[in-house]
Copies of this chain bind each other. A is one copy, B any other.
Amino acid sequence: MPKVGMEPVRRKALVEATIHEIGRAGTLDVTVSQIAKRAGMSSALAHHYFGGKTQIFMAAMRHILSQYGLEVRRRLKKAKTHEERLRALVDANFAPSNFREEVVSAWMNFYVLAQNVEEARRLLTVYYHRLHSNLVHDLRPLVGGEAVIIARRIEALIDGVYLRQSLRNEPANPATASELVLGTLENELARCGSQRPAATLSLIAQKERSE
């Protein structure tokens, strides 16, 4: 029974169904029918609103990236010092909204997609650059010239944690993951920072341990 103004509702449902379906299957090899079914409509309607399968994937990827961006900005707003901002940047990656089983799996598959589809690669590159310049911005005052190399380490580490999470059967544990990255960061700062006492940071201290 056709109601009017369905377009945004349908699009949203499809995007979310896509992420869940990719997460469930662990692959980009999901059919439009599967996605449409989960979103509660026919596959023809999915094509009607998005045009094609690739566009559905791209919309889903854009959604994940924008949700991630939102999380980053939300946390950065609360942070004052450089140390707090660094923690915010790292923690955003492991926020519950991003670091869930299906979303992590979808991320992994988008990485693969970015190897094939130029637009996907572009999106990912934007995210990379933003994270990198954010990190460098707050690392520079603390470690000077080492900022870039340390940023690269943190970036790779975050991706690695995601990758390994996608292989686990256990549900994601934000605290453990975040701690792993922050611990490394703390080490880097303690080692080559010279303008502030190492203890100032204490990134981890404020969280309880797990694992």
Pick the most buried of A114, A155, A157: most chain B CB atoms within 10 A of its CB: A157
Given contacts A155-B164, A159-B160, are A111 and B108 in contact (CB under 8 A)? yes
A191 in the interface, Cβ–Cβ < 8 Å? yes
Given contacts A160-B155, A160-B158, are A167 and B111 in contact (CB under 8 A)? yes
Q: Total interface residues on A, using CB and 8 Å? A: 38
A98 in the interface, Cβ–Cβ < 8 Å? no
Contact status B111-A149, CB under 8 Å: no
Pick the most buried of A27, A153, A183, A191: most chain B CB atoms within 10 A of its CB: A153
A124 in the interface, Cβ–Cβ < 8 Å? yes
Smallest CB gap from A148: residue in B: B211
A178 in the interface, Cβ–Cβ < 8 Å? no
The 9 nearest A-B residue pairs measured at CB: A160-B160, A26-B115, A156-B160, A159-B160, A159-B163, A26-B116, A187-B191, A156-B161, A187-B187
The chain A residues found within 8 Å of chain B, CB to CB, are 25-29, 105, 108-109, 111-112, 114-116, 121, 124-125, 149, 152-153, 155-161, 163-164, 166-167, 180, 183-184, 187-188, 190-192
